[in-house]
Each structure stands twice: as C-alpha cells, then as structure tokens.
Amino acid sequence: MMAFLEFNCISRGYPGVQALSNVSFGVEKGAVHGLMGENGAGKSTLIRVLSGDQSADEGSILIDGVEQKYSSVRDAFHAGVIVIHQELQLVPELTVAENLWLGRFPGKAGVINGKTLVETVRAKLDEIGIDVDPSVKVSALSIGARQMVEIAKAVMLDARVIALDEPTSSLSSRESEILFSLIGKLKAKGTVILYVSHRLDEIFRLCDSLTVLRDGKLAAHHPKVVETTREQIIAEMVGREINNIWGWRERPLGEVRLEVKALSGSKLRTPISFSVRKGEILGFFGLIGAGRSEMARLLYGADHRHQGNVAIDGVVVPPSNPKAAINAGMVLCPEDRKFDGIIQGRSIEENIAISSRRHFSPFGVLNPKKEASVAEQFIAKLRVRTPSRKQDIINLSGGNQQKVILGRWLSEQGVKVLVIDEPTRGIDVGAKSEIYEILYELAAGGMAIVVISSELPEVMGISDRIMVMCQGRVAANVARADFDERSILTAALPDKNAAGTI
C-alpha cells in the first residue's frame, strides 16, 4: 500500500546541534506507527515539524500524496494534523468545555452559548468514554485527567493524522485502556496515529510499524513490529545492548536519616509514618490518586500539614515551609517537570544556579563566573547533553531536563534527603540508566532517597524497600527480598472498605 503520511529527507538544525538529518519514512492509512529513540534522538523535533511549530531546513511532508506547505501550527491543523504533546497545551483557567471548543465556540453574533457548550461536550465525552466534568476548570484536574482532555480534543476534531507524544505517561491503567480503545476506533476510521513512547509493551500491543531514531538519523524502520524484538529495538535506540537497565546493587545502610511520624494533610487524611536510613532508596508505589505526590509535597512543606513531624538526623523540620526543608537538607524533584521543575525561558546555567547562588552572592550581588563554574561542573558530572550551558532549558530532552533539576539541588550545600517524584517519566531507556546510576551514587554517599513512581518495574528495579500506597494510606511495607509484582499490585488496588480516601 502507498503511504498516506510521508516524511522525505527531513533535516533540521539548531545552533550547535543537528537535530534531524535526512530522515525518511512513510505510514499507511489507518496504521498505528511507533516512533522510538533516546531523549535527544530527534523525535520531538520531527513532531514539531509535522505540527507546523517549526519548519524543516530541508525535505518535505506529504499527506495523501499532497506536499504540505506550513507557515504555522494553524496550517497543519487545517491539513488535519493534531499533535498531543507530553507537555500539555491546555489553558488552565478555562473549563474543559472551553478548552475543547477553543477557537470554534458555538453561538450567534459572537455570543457564546455556555449551556449548549457544556451539553455538547458532555455528550461527546460520554460517547468516547472519558469521565471528566466539562464544566470544571482544567487547573482543578489531575495531570492524567488533563491528558484525557487533550486526547478528547483530537478525537472531536476528526483529524487525519494524530501524533501522540508519551500519551500514557500520566494515565492510570483504566485511562490507558480507554486511550487504547480510542486508538482502535481511530484506526478503523483510517486515521494515521504516530505513537511516540518509551514503553515497549505499548509499542508491541498497539503499533503496526515502527521507526527508530538515533542522534537525529534513521536508525531502523520496521514495516511490521511483530517481526522484531525488544532487545533489537533497544540496541537500535542506544547503539549498544542494555541487559539490565536498573543496575541495582546492595550497599551498606547507616542510621535513620529521615523520620516521618503521623503525617497528614487535606489530601492525605490518614496519617502515615515511615523512616529512611542513610544510603537507602525507599520506593513509593501506588495507582494514580493513591496519595504519593501529596505525601511528597507534605514532606517538603509545599502543602499545609494537618499534623505530623518530619525530622532529619533527629532535628525536626518546621512544617509547611519549603525554605526550611531546603535549609535542613531536604530537596524535591517534582512530578511535573514543566510547571513545577524547570524555569522556562531560562538557560541551563540559570536553572542549575538559581538555588545555590545565595551561597556565593554576598549582599545579593551575582557572581557570573561562579555561576558558570557551578553549571559546567554539574553539566559534566550528570552528563547533560547540550552544546552550551547557555542553551534554553526548554530545548533539552526530558531526560536532560531532569538531570538539570538534579544538578540544581546537588549544587546546594549539605543535601541529606532527596525526594524525587516520577524520576524517569517520558525518559528513554538509556537516560533512565543514567538517572538510576546518579541515584545509586548519591545513596552510596549517605543520602536518603525517596523515589515515587507509578511504574512498578521501576520501583522494584531500583528500590531497597517499597511502601505501597492506596487511597491515601500505606497499604504495605515490602523488603527487597520479598518483592513480588502480584502482591504489590494487589496491595495497591482500592478496597471499598479501606479507611481513608483522598
């Protein structure tokens, strides 16, 4: 069959970086096509070119045999192309209905009919199986619910080509199944789905064909996914074999470094208690809504505590005060890198130095040489892939952004406790190994580390011990010798009789 979507010799460069070089492949009508590669391989750049957000230096895109000439995202939209980015493109202070109808509101003479708007959207959401209230503001929704709203927008617009960038990274298993069902319906209608994911199980489940990028070039093209293997794809992505991405090894544990007693808050109403020793990596696992991220924010003082004490090396940390937590030696890498982690519009250097500059800026006078030195130190130490410390952080891959956030906190003096929420969400297998290696090095140096993840294989792979959360309470405390996927999942499943919900 002839390709419905074609990329012909696409090249795109940035100052100091050739993001894409002569990339060509095609996708048949009604096919789900996987796009894989390490962070920085060129996937996001290719998607931006497809969406009209950026232009190619060379090459062309054809849809149904017609070459596309984009000058903006609007041109791509009118050509039937919709991209759902990992960093969501919703307006937080508008309602779900307003976001879904943005730019095409139903009404007469410029007057929006709010009732019709909500009723129309509610009927469409019910039809496609997405359980979100169209009258609530997007800012009130969880990240997973926001992702479902983005997906609903693409379905409602009846696109010819839909690109999904890490679509399940914030979804619960139930929401993921709804997405997979929608993909099946879109495929039956003849829609081309470009599916960008690092999750190989999803690639083998959903995709008909697959393209692998490496260093901006075409590393492999598989017309039939079923004719390749997981090991082959990983080798094509990273240019080397990775037999064990977790790399866990036993290390000596010291005395209790972090002690948490009866911690609770508005979204964590059942008090929880736990401790973490020097050199220990404690994993927190649970389904979306279990209270993991809420627990992290309470620990760090970002949310108000109802009760409970948090102590580091026996010294109580003042509640609801992130500055006090940092001064006591606790830092947090948040779940949402885009909104809570990186400082957009700023360079890598500024993002690394923003916290520690107070240590080398007497009387508030900045020290550019010291900032540059600190940035270069952690760019090298954490192997951040960038042509320059002056590069805008938004231009980095997700894995490199995560390294910069780690660099910011490691440049702090006297960090004793690291809390890291979804450490490798949307990060490729090679970068995952590098992030894990950094965590092991920090633990070996005596740091107490709390890792929160919705990916059970990740939690089991890197943790010394796992706390399982369910409905805002600790449902199990599992030693590494007792790790068992089935029992951990069972503990994480909601029980209608369980005390405490969030």
Statement to judge: residues 173 and 31 lie in one domain: yes
What confidence score (pLDDT) does residue 104 get?
Answer: 58
Clarify whether residues 224 and 282 are in a common domain: no
For the chain, the C-alpha Rg in angstroms (whole number) is 23
pLDDT at residue number 146: 82
| One domain for residues 313 and 413 | no
Q: Which of 44, 48, 74, 76 is nearest to 63 (CA)?
A: 76
What pLDDT, on the 0 to 100 scale, is given for residue 500? 35
At 113 the pLDDT is 56
Same domain, 271 and 323: yes
pLDDT tens across 6-30, in order?
999 999 987 667 889 999 999 999 9
Instruction: Please check whether residue 247 lies inside any domain of the structure.
Output: no
Domain around 322? 257-288+299-328+460-492
Per-residue pLDDT, 207? 96
Position 98 in a domain: yes
Locate 492 and state its tokens: 């994480």
Contact between 138 and 149 (Cβ < 8 Å): yes
What is the Cα–Cα distance from 155 to 387, expressed in whole angstroms?
38
Same domain for 400 and 477, yes or no, is no
Residues of the chain with pLDDT under 70: 1, 15-16, 39, 86-88, 103-114, 240-244, 288, 338, 359-363, 426, 428, 495-502
Q: Within 13 A of 346's CA, how many CA atoms are on the CB side?
A: 15
pLDDT value at residue 431: 73
User: Residue 496: what pLDDT?
Assistant: 39
Residues 24 and 162 in one domain: yes
Find the helix or strand (DSSP H, E) in which 127 lies.
helix 114-128
Answer for the pair 474, 468: CB distance below 8 angstroms, yes or no. yes
Each residue of 265-313: pLDDT tens digit?
887 878 999 999 999 999 999 876 788 888 999 999 888 889 999 999 9
- Please indicate, yes or no, if residue 381 is contained in any of the structural domains: yes
Examine residue 498 and state whether it is found in any structural domain, yes or no: no
Statement to judge: residues 385 and 484 lie in one domain: no
Q: Residue 355: its pLDDT value, please?
A: 74
Query: Which strands, in side-by-side order, build the sheet including 281-285?
Result: 330-333, 417-421, 448-453, 281-285, 465-470, 473-479
The answer to whether residues 96 and 222 belong to one domain is yes
Query: Is residue 333 in some structural domain?
Result: no
- Closest to 441 measured CA to CA, from 353, 358, 363, 382: 382
CATH number at residue 132: 3.40.50.300
In a domain, 250, yes or no: no
- Residue-averaged pLDDT of the chain: 85
Same domain (yes/no): 280, 412 = no
Q: Do 90 and 182 reside in the same domain of the chain?
A: yes
Residue 334 covered by a domain: no
**Quick one: pLDDT at residue 255?**
97
C-alpha distances (whole Å) from 348 to each of 352, 402, 439 are 6, 11, 21
> Structural domain tally of the chain?
3
Distance CA 63, CA 51 (A): 12
- pLDDT at position 4 is 94
Residues 6+ apart with CB under 8 A from 257: 276, 277, 278, 280, 312, 313, 416, 417, 446, 447, 448
Give the separation between CA 242 and CA 364, rounded to whole angstroms.
47
Distance CA 350, CA 474 (A): 38
pTM above 0.75, yes or no: no
- DSSP assignment string, 42-99: SHHHHHHHHHTSS--SEEEEEETTEE---SSHHHHHHTTEEEE-SS----TTSBHHHH
**Residue 311 contacts residue 324 (beta carbons within 8 Å):** no
Q: What does the pLDDT look like over 376-417, one tens digit per residue?
A: 888 888 778 888 888 888 888 777 888 888 888 877 778 899
> Does residue 222 sit in the same domain as residue 273?
no
Flag whether 339 is in a domain: no
Burial of 387 (0-12, 13-18, 19+ CB in 10 A): exposed
